[in-house]
Amino acid sequence: MPIFQFVPPSNLPDFILYIWHCMGKESPSIPDLRFFLSFRAKLMSPSKAQELIENALHDRLIVNKNNILQLSDTLQTRQVGQEQAEKERIQQTLVQQARKEKVLTTKTFNDYFREILPEEYKSKTFLIKLKDIQLNVPDPASEQVRGTIITEGKSIEVTIDGKRKILSHSCDFLTSQYQSARKFCPHLGAIFRSLQKNFPDLALCLLQSMVEEKTKWQYS
Ligand SMILES: [Zn+2]
């Protein structure tokens, strides 16, 4: 079964344009064109080819100047229009393709969150209630976050400086191993859940940087 089947245009003007493209010759003679249609392209018998050429001449789709055939002005304009439309269509396809690829490669907050939060801290993170978290973000553009978690009568502090890429927090969960791997403890996870709820753009921006540029971040 053929992968690709092409049927030449059925209307005479488009058929002539199609033949001109296939021939790759700007100025054929009548015998050249007849030969092409019947022998090279095997589209019709020589008598049918002759008939088609006469019809095209009669309809002034092609003109015969000193035994050289040329596309009429009308068909030349149509050819330019078709080429332009085709170029635009290709351009649009490329833009759509690029857009699709961008969507596929754009990660969400949840993608980064899954990457940075160790599996073993997942449930502990979600046990911390959002109402127990206080966020202090004076100006999201400065990327400064101070978070406080009040849990079991204790106050746990987290400070983040997104511009200088410094994170200050210490607890037993944030072992030296996790610190050097720039992973989260349940407190950091909870702070980011709250940040995502209140300042989603800042939350994504910080988390993206903490995953994609993790070696630039300093945990202290
Ligand atoms: Zn912690």
- Specify whether 183 is located in the same domain as 203: yes
- Among the candidates 50, 83, 103, a domain finishes at 103
> How many angstroms is it from 129 CA to the middle of ligand 1?
14
- CA 173–ligand 1 middle distance (angstroms): 6
Question: Residue 108 C-alpha to ligand 1 middle, in angstroms?
Answer: 23
Whole-model pTM: value is 0.56
Distance from Cα 177 to the centre of ligand 1, integer Å: 13
Q: Tokens 């990457």 belong to which residue?
A: 115
- Domain range for 47: 12-103
Same domain, 67 and 134: no
Amino acid making up residue 68: I
Residue 93 lies in a domain: yes
Output the CA angle 170-210-97, nearest 5 degrees: 160
Distance 99 CA to ligand 1 centre (A): 39
Does the residue 125 lie in any domain? yes
CATH of the domain at 46: 1.10.10
The number of distinct structural domains making up the chain is 2
CB contact at 8 A, 139 and 150: no
Structural domain contains residue 6: no
pLDDT by position in tens, the chain (length 220): 455 667 788 899 999 999 998 888 678 999 999 999 999 889 999 999 999 999 999 999 999 999 999 999 999 999 889 889 989 999 998 988 888 887 777 899 999 999 999 999 999 999 999 999 999 999 989 999 999 999 878 899 999 999 999 999 999 999 999 999 999 999 999 999 999 999 999 999 999 999 999 999 999 8
What is the number of alpha carbons within 13 Å of residue 45 lying toward its C-beta? 2
Longest Cα–Cα distance in the chain: 102
Q: Ligand 1 center to residue 156 CA distance, Å?
A: 8
Q: Are residues 97 and 133 in the same domain?
A: no
- The partner residues of 161 in beta bridges, in order of sequence, read 144, 166
Verify that 35 and 120 share a domain, yes or no: no
Q: Which of 69, 103, 137 is the last residue of a domain?
A: 103
Domain endpoint, select from 87, 103, 119? 103
CA of 130 to the centre of ligand 1 (A): 15
User: Does residue 2 fall inside a structural domain?
Assistant: no
Q: Name the residue with tokens 């070696």.
A: 215
